[in-house]
Amino acid sequence: MRRRVLFAAPFAVAGAAGMGAFAMLRRMPDGQFDPHAVDAPVLGRMVPDFALPALPPGPGFDAAALRAQPRPVLVNVFASWCVPCVEEAEALLALSTHLPVWGIAYKDPDAAATDFVRRTGDPYARLVADRDGLAAIDWGVSGVPESFLVAPGGRIVWHKAGGLTAADVERLARGQG
């Protein structure tokens, strides 16, 4: 009996490891598991303090404006020089029909940012410029694009590092209904 258990143990361990790896690989393509993900301590916290210059035509916003919102707002950090930002533009535009999307242009010349926004269909109700990228560090942004869902009152309840997909939009829009 003992011999049989000892014989089976390595196979059981290898089997469990294999199933774990399989689960990981299966969750990777649909974005449920990201081996490079950086955890976001900002989740569940209030939005960090910031005050950034507005990029017209819309009004800008600051932390106080986010906290004063009666509705959820999606804060999207982007840059005109970022390829995934172009890829997520369509999803962002679709999302903007469900809830307000406010943009933070990350380390981007103002003209380049506004030009990019005009080209991609302008999903942003409000737009500000984080020229030196220091405000984004307070949000824990490690790369663009990155999106944060801010609940009424200013608590950050959802976060995604990387471009939004149609599936994300569906999930966020359903949360609205």
Partner 1 sequence: MVRVRVVLAVALLLAGPAARTVAWAVDSPAEMLPDPKQEARAEAIGRQLRCLVCQNESIEDSRAALARDLRHVVRAHVAAGETDRQIVGWMVSRYGDFIRLRPRLDWLTLPLYAMPGLAVLAGLAVALVALRRRRGEPPAPLSDTERARLERLR
Which residues contact partner 1 by CB under 8 A?
36, 38-42, 107, 132-134, 137-140, 142-143
- The token duo for 168 is 């994300």
Residue type present at position 172: L
Determine how many CB atoms are found less than 10 A away from the CB of residue 91. 20
Report the residue number, 30 or 39, with the smaller CB distance to partner 1: 39
Shortest spacing between CB 149 and partner 1, in angstroms: 18
Report the residue number, 10 or 41, with the smaller CB distance to partner 1: 41
Shortest spacing between CB 155 and partner 1, in angstroms: 16
Residues composing the chain: 177
Report the residue number, 28 or 134, with the smaller CB distance to partner 1: 134
Shortest spacing between CB 48 and partner 1, in angstroms: 8
CA distance 123 to 31: 23
Shortest spacing between CB 2 and partner 1, in angstroms: 13
CA distance 44 to 119: 34
Report the residue number, 136 or 172, with the smaller CB distance to partner 1: 136
Shortest spacing between CB 93 and partner 1, in angstroms: 27
Report the residue number, 88 or 108, with the smaller CB distance to partner 1: 108
CA distance 108 to 118: 15
Cis omega (within 30 of 0) on the bond before 145?
yes
Helices (H) and strands (E) in the chain, counts: 6, 5
